[in-house]
Amino acid sequence: MAHVNIIEIKARCAHPQAVRDVLRLQKADFRGTDQQIDTYFKVPQGRLKLREGAIENCLVYYQRKDQKGPKQSEVMLFPTSQGSSLKAILTQSLGLLVVVEKRREIYFIDNVKFHLDEVSQLGTFVEIEAIDRDGTLGTEHLLQQCQSFLALLSISPKDLVAVSYSDLLMRES
């Protein structure tokens, strides 16, 4: 199981092509487009989701403060495979909270991961995740990277989102 330190930003994105253009100019590595289903389960603290896609499949537990702008996330990842019985076991034992369906474009520049997400019922978003997989980069460096890309992508403070897609969907219902 991987333990990862991440500084992340989520924002509404009215102009996804402009983000793609900037990423292309920065020579971002496009990893593909993934149709993902994130199933969130009821847990006493943090968030637990099972991500199912063609590119990414894992059980994800994370804790972070709900705040706009860069925020630190403590993440634990457990790789899974499509079609396992894990979803049924977690649903039966913990209870289903909400399901998020999205089309995700995945890009990387060094240790920074970018998502352009079209989320069912919510719209289009951009995410920036500065990732420290082994503890060598440090939180301050990750924060500087996020701030730099926030400016480069011209993300407005009014577009920043404090909460997860699961929280946004639950507010909508």
So where are the chain's domains?
Answer: 2-172
Share of the chain above pLDDT 90, in %: 81
Q: How far apart are CA 156 and CA 158, in angstroms?
A: 5
Q: How far apart are CA 53 and CA 60, in angstroms?
A: 13
CATH class of the domain comprising 2-172: mainly beta
On whether the CB atoms of residues 37 and 100 are closer than 8 A, the answer is yes
Taking the CB of residue 84, how many other CB atoms lie within 10 A of it?
13
Going by pLDDT thresholds of 50, 70 and 90, the confidence category of residue 3 is low
Distances in Å between the Cα of 126 and the Cα atoms of 30, 82, 88, 105 are 14, 26, 30, 10
* Consecutive H or E run containing 128: strand 123-132
**pTM of the entire predicted model:** 0.92
Transcribe 144-157 into DSSP letters: HHHHHHHHHTT--G
Distances in Å between the Cα of 108 and the Cα atoms of 131, 139, 158 are 11, 19, 25
Task: Assess whether pLDDT exceeds 80 at residue 173.
Answer: no
On whether the CB atoms of residues 142 and 129 are closer than 8 A, the answer is no
Which tens digit of pLDDT belongs to each residue from 31-64?
Answer: 999 999 999 999 999 999 999 999 999 999 999 9
Phi, psi for 51 (deg, rounded to 5): -95, 125
Mean pLDDT of the chain: 94
Which tens digit of pLDDT belongs to each residue from 76-110?
Answer: 999 998 888 999 999 999 999 999 999 999 999 99
Going by pLDDT thresholds of 50, 70 and 90, the confidence category of residue 147 is very high
